[in-house]
Structure 1
Amino acid sequence: MDSLSINYLLENLKNPDAIVREQATRRIWRLWFQQKGIYGLEKIDYSQKLIDVGELATAEEVLTSLIQAQPDFAEAWNRRAFLYYSIGNYQKSLTDCQMVVQLNPVHFGALHGMGLCWAVLGKYAEAIQAFQKALVIQPYSLVNQRLILECTLKLS
C-alpha cells in the first residue's frame, strides 16, 4: 500500500467534516481489500457470497486457504475474524483480530472487532482499551464512544 495515500486518508478520519471522514473511510477499506490484488479481492468477495447464503464452513475454508497462501493479507484475517464473531466463536475472532492489528496497526475495524470480542467475553477493561485505540484512529466514531461508555458502566 502507498503509505503517503494511507497516511493522508488516516488524517482525513480526524477531519471535522463528516463527508471527508466518510470518503476517507471508504477509500481506506478499498485499499485494504485490494492490498493483494484481484486474487485476494475475488476470494474475499467469494467468501462473503458464501456467508450470505449460509455456507459458513465453506467460507471459512476459503478464507483459511487465502490466509495460508497470503499470510500477510490483513483483510483476509479480518474477514475470517468477522466470520468467527458472527457464529459466536469469539476467542478465534479475537485471535484473528490480533493478527490483523499486528499486520496493520491502524486497522480500526479489527480494533473495533477486538473490543466487541472482549466485551462479549466479559473483559470490559480490555474492550475499553481496544475501543480507545480505534478512537485514536477514528476520533469521531460514535459507536466506539458509545461502547466505551457501555463497558465502563459494566465495570462499575
Structure 2
Amino acid sequence: MDSLSINSLLEELKNPDVIVREQATRKLWRIWFQQKGIYGLERIDHSQKLLDAGEITEAEATLTELIKDQPDFAEAWNRRAFLYYSIANYRKSLLDCQKAVQLNSIHFGALHGMGLCYAALGDYGKAIQAFQRALEIQPYSLVNQKLILECTFRIS
C-alpha cells in the first residue's frame, strides 16, 4: 500500500464518525500484519496460537526467529512486546515497543504499549508522553485518554 493510502487512513482516524475510524484502524492493522506477506503473517499467527496455549517460550522463540529473519518487520517487534508485557517483563516489552515505533512511527499500538510499560514501571510522566503520542494519531482513543488521566492522578 502506498503512502498516499496510509495518509488517507491516518486522516480517517481523526474523523468524528466512529465507523470510519474503526474501518481505518482495521485497515492499518491489516497493512502492518501483512507487511512481510504470507510468511510474516503465518509466523505471527503461529506465535499467537502458542501464546494462547500457554507455550510462552515457544511463542517467544517463534517471534525472535521472525525478527532475526525480518528485522524491519515492525509488527513482529510489537507482537513480541505484547508477549513480554503479558508475562510482566515490562523492560523487554518497552524495548520492543520502542523498536516497533522506530520502524513505524505511526504505530499507535506500539505507542500505547510503551505507555503501558512506562506506567507499569512507575514512570508516569513518560507513560503520559507515550499515550499522548498515540492520541496524536488516534485522537478519539478513549483508552489512551483514560490512561493519561490515571497517570496524571498518580503523579499528583
TM-score normalized by structure 1? 0.99
For 1:35, what is the secondary structure of its paired residue? coil
Paired with 2:5 and 2:69, the residues of 1 have a C-alpha distance of: 26
Paired with 1:122 and 1:90, the residues of 2 have a C-alpha distance of: 11
Does residue 127 of the first structure (1) align with residue 127 of the second (2)?
Answer: yes
Where in structure 1 do 4 or more consecutive aligned residues deviate above 2 Å? none
1:73 corresponds to which letter in structure 2?
F
- Structure 1, unmatched stretches of 5+, are none
**Partner of residue 110, structure 2:** 110
Paired with 2:111 and 2:138, the residues of 1 have a C-alpha distance of: 11
Paired with 2:73 and 2:11, the residues of 1 have a C-alpha distance of: 23
Deviations 1:16-75 (A, max 9, x none): 000000000000000000000000000000000001100110000000000000000000
1:125 corresponds to which letter in structure 2?
G
**Partner of residue 24, structure 2:** 24
Deviations 1:78-109 (A, max 9, x none): 00000000000000000000000000000000
- Structure 2, unmatched stretches of 5+, are none
1:49 corresponds to which letter in structure 2?
K
Equivalences, count: 156
For 1:71, what is the secondary structure of its paired residue? coil
TM-score normalized by structure 2? 0.99
Backbone CA RMSD of aligned residues: 0.5
**Partner of residue 136, structure 2:** 136
Deviations 1:95-148 (A, max 9, x none): 000000000000000000000000010000000000000000000000000000
**Partner of residue 15, structure 2:** 15
